[in-house]
Chains A and B, each alone.
Chain A
Amino acid sequence: MSQLKYLVIYLSLLVALVLMILPLPDWVQIYRPNWIALTLIYWSMALPKRVGLWFAFFTGIILDTSLGTLLGQHTLPLLLIIYINLNFYQRIRVLALAQQALYVFVLLLIDQVIVAWVEGILGRPTPLPTFFAAPFIGMLIWPWVFVVLRDIRRKALLR
């Protein structure tokens, strides 16, 4: 029973995954925020003991499989930002939501840069102007993600 309440973490990640692979028109796609990264950042901030690097690793592999990218292409940046987060979460947790959003923007940008890097190595350079769009949208969405997931966490009595 005590393990059952952790299901909400998996469910929230499943919803994030659906949002990641939901078909959208071409022009909207570059604005799609990295829902998986946002969700993982929240959980690793709230429950760093439970949602750590291995968690990020397996989530990343599933993400890579569903997106059809190289295994590891989205996993590596996820690991990196969760690692950064695990080192800073105590300082970030007490900040105001707007300040947190800036921090999340930086993390999402790191993620985006690494994914684009690998694409570049594979011979598909990413046009630069489209680069900041997704992390920016992610930053705007962060306060809502935070509030929704926090309410879910409280309802599920996770701490």
Chain B
Amino acid sequence: MKTIIEVRGATLQALFLIGLCIAMMVVDHRFQHLEIVRTNISLALSPLRYLVSLPATGGNWLSDWFTSHTELLKENEALKSEGRILSARLQKLEILAEENARLRNLLGSSRKIADDVIVAELLSVDQNPYSQLIEINKGSSDGVEMGHAVIDDFGIMGQVIHVNPQSATIILISDPEHAIPVQFIRSGTRSVAFGRGSTRQLELRYLPATADIMVDDELVTSGLGGRFPPDYPVARVTAISEDKVRGFVSVLAEPKARLDSSREVLVIKPRQ
């Protein structure tokens, strides 16, 4: 049988711990002080995380193993021809990049052209179905830092929000807490794209009704705010809705990056 004193002790303990939790949540949300706790626990749990992503990796490995010879040959052929096309394009691009640099020099602006990148792979996709976080297999020991932009082959995916020695957490641009400064390529209008919690949609709010926007316009990073390097593709406009009363336009856009299916990503290190 429990005595009254025992029950009261448990209640006090519960109240104390619950208070501690609330304090931790506030601190974790506003400041960076708890990052060290998170990092250490993550480090201790990292074998577990690799264990968990093993079935997916194993599945890939098995399907690679059993791919037939002819299929491999076919794939090899396709990759070779793709490689040829890409290298041809690259030559053109290099010439353009040089020309661009020359012109920028002429204009006296010192915008950097190329950024350093780190290639990383996804570990497990985060389990909270309502937030858009992913985990990658490169961390501070590989040079990944907080705030680095992450892209896949098609466009911006997100940015680094937690770094552990061997892994890092990425917040996708589609997370409702995330906003990315963008620019319309065609008209040069600048705006900010917010996530909506769906990997297929971004939203640009409160654009002036007079702004020059059309469906299918391309959005790139504007580089304002200093987090994302400029001129990387972000999204394509899919719908425009006008608020006649308040004179604003809000725009829906579809992210270029394959937020839900890319397995290899690039972390961009800004050059000093």
Interface residues of A (CB under 8 A from B): 14, 17-18, 20-24, 26, 29-30, 32, 52-54, 57, 60-62, 65-73, 75-76, 79-80, 83, 86-87, 118-119, 122-124, 126, 130
Interfacial chain A residues near B53, Cβ < 8 Å: 23
Given the known inter-chain contacts A23-B124, A119-B130, please indicate yes or no for A72 contacting B24, CB distance below 8 A.
yes
User: With the chains together, A1 CA to B239 CA distance in Å?
Assistant: 67
Task: Assess the A83–B14 pair: CB atoms within 8 A.
Answer: yes
Q: Is the CB of B41 within 8 A of A62?
A: yes
Would you call the interface of chain A mostly helix, strand, loop, or mixed? helix
CA of A65 to CA of B126 in the docked complex: distance in angstroms?
11
If A29-B129, A65-B45, A126-B130 are given as contacts, then 7 extra A-B residue pairs at C-beta distance below 8 Å, sorted by A number, are: A29-B127, A53-B14, A61-B37, A62-B45, A65-B38, A68-B126, A83-B14
Report A93 CB to chain B, min CB distance, Å: 14
Q: Render B210-243 as a binary contact track against A, CB cut-off 8 A, 1 for contact.
A: 0000000000000000000000000000000000
Q: Is B176 in the interface zone, CB < 8 Å from A? A: yes
- B25 interface neighbour in A14, A57, A72, Cβ under 8 Å: A72
Cβ-defined contact, A118 with B25, below 8 A = yes
Q: Which of B1-55 contact A (CB under 8 A)?
A: 7, 10-11, 13-14, 17-18, 20-25, 28-29, 34, 37-38, 41-42, 45, 48-49, 51-53, 55
Q: Are B7 and A124 in contact (CB under 8 A)?
A: no
Shortest distance from the beta carbon of B23 to any chain A beta carbon, whole Å: 8
CA distance A83 to B16 in the complex (A): 12
Q: How far is the CA of A69 from the CA of B17 in the complex (A)?
A: 18
Instruction: Decide if B162 is an interface residue (CB 8 Å cutoff).
Output: yes
B34 surroundings in chain A (CB, below 8 A)? 71
Residues on B with C-beta less than 8 A from A62 are: 41, 45
Q: Select which of B24, B37, B126, B130 is within 8 A of A124 by beta carbon.
A: B130
Q: Which residue of B lies closest to A125 (CB)?
A: B130
Contact status A21-B52, CB under 8 Å: yes
Q: Is A68 in contact with B45, judged by CB distance below 8 angstroms? A: no
Partner of A79, one of B21, B29, B45: B21
User: Would A80 and B18 count as touching, CB distance under 8 A?
Assistant: yes
Query: In the complex the two chains form, is B125's CB within 8 Å of A68's CB?
Result: no
Considering only CB atoms, which chain A residue lies closest to B16 in the complex? Answer: A53
Q: How far, in whole Å, are A122 and B131 apart by their CA atoms in the complex?
A: 10
Query: Max chain B CB contacts within 10 Å: which of A21, A70, A118?
Result: A21
CB-defined contacts of A76 to chain B, threshold 8 Å: 18, 21-22, 25
CB < 8 Å neighbour of A70 from B29, B129, B197: B29
Q: In the complex the two chains form, what is the Cα distance from A122 to B135 in whole Å?
A: 20
Known: A21-B127, A122-B177. A71 touches B49 (CB 8 A): no
Closest 10 CB pairs of A and B: A72-B21, A72-B25, A72-B24, A76-B21, A83-B14, A65-B41, A29-B129, A23-B124, A71-B28, A70-B25
Contacts A67-B126, A69-B128, A124-B177 hold; do A57 and B17 have CB atoms under 8 A apart? yes
Task: For A65, give its contact among B11, B18, B42, B176 (CB under 8 Å).
Answer: B42
